């Protein structure tokens, strides 16, 4: 099974920008410190001059659009987005619609199932005519789809689409 590694450090970026970012939130900070030390002799005078102007903007979380207000830093805003694009911090939770769509896709792609009969209300054994072992296989496929780990007792109880959708929507770690 592939394991998901945290994002690798970004490619080297332009030097004056690197020394301007001491106030970033902690996850990105360690990435920068190694680059900062290499660039200590770079023009820091310009950095010191621009620093208060830029720090005012950097207190806002990276996804905020107000960074674009600062005209002297188009590089800065793209750099900020690039740094945060690899962080998996604060992933948005799934919307209910997305959960429903993905669950139905998984059930439809099961070979023993007739795709036209699948609705969000379907019961695996009664409506789709599946076996209890087939239900187990579908639950495993759902676990793989949403990267969940469902305990055995709970997985035994998932018998139908609405139950599966409800369980996944209420799971805090569903991806």
Partner 1 sequence: MQSCSDSDRRKEEREREREAMSIAGAAGYLTRRAAQKERVRILYRRALKDTLNWAVHRHLFYQDASELREKFEANKHVEDLDAIDRLIDDAEAQFVKFQHPDPYIVPWAPGGSKFTRNPPPPEGIEIVYNYGKEE
> What are the catalytic residues?
131
**Is 1 a residue that touches partner 1 (CB under 8 A)?**
yes
Q: Which residue, 110 or 120, is less far from partner 1 as judged by CB?
A: 110
Q: Which residue, 24 or 120, is less far from partner 1 as judged by CB?
A: 24
Task: Find how far residue 170's CA is from the centre of its chain.
Answer: 17
CA dist., res. 96 & res. 142, Å (int):
15
Of residues 37, 51, 117, the one with CA closest to residue 126: 117
Q: How far is the CB of 96 from partner 1 (least distance, A)?
A: 22
Contacts (CB under 8 A) with partner 1, residues 28-47? 29
**Is 173 a residue that touches partner 1 (CB under 8 A)?**
yes
Angle at which helix 161-169 crosses helix 96-108, to 10 degrees, equals 140
- Residue identified by tokens 């793209």 is 78
**Is 145 a residue that touches partner 1 (CB under 8 A)?**
no
User: Which residues would be at the binding site for partner 1 (CB under 8 A)?
Assistant: 1, 3-4, 22-26, 29, 55, 132-133, 135-137, 139-140, 147-149, 152, 155-156, 173
């Amino acid at each position: 099974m592939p394991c998901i590694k945290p994002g690798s450090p970004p490619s080297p970026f332009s030097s004056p920008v690197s020394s301007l970012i001491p106030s970033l939130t902690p996850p990105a900070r360690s990435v920068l410190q190694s680059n900062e030390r290499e660039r200590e002799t770079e023009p820091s005078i310009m950095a010191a001059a621009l620093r208060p102007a830029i720090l005012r903007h950097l207190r806002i979380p990276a996804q905020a659009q107000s960074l674009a207000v600062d005209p002297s830093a188009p590089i800065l805003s793209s750099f900020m987005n690039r740094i945060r694009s690899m962080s998996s911090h604060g992933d948005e939770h799934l919307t209910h619609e997305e959960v429903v769509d993905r669950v139905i896709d998984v059930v439809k792609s099961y070979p023993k199932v007739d795709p036209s009969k699948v609705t969000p209300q379907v019961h695996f054994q009664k409506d789709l005519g599946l076996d209890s072992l087939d239900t187990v296989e579908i639950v495993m496929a759902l676990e793989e789809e949403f990267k969940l780990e469902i305990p055995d007792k709970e997985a035994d109880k998932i018998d139908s689409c609405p139950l599966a959708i409800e369980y996944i929507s209420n799971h805090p770690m569903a991806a």
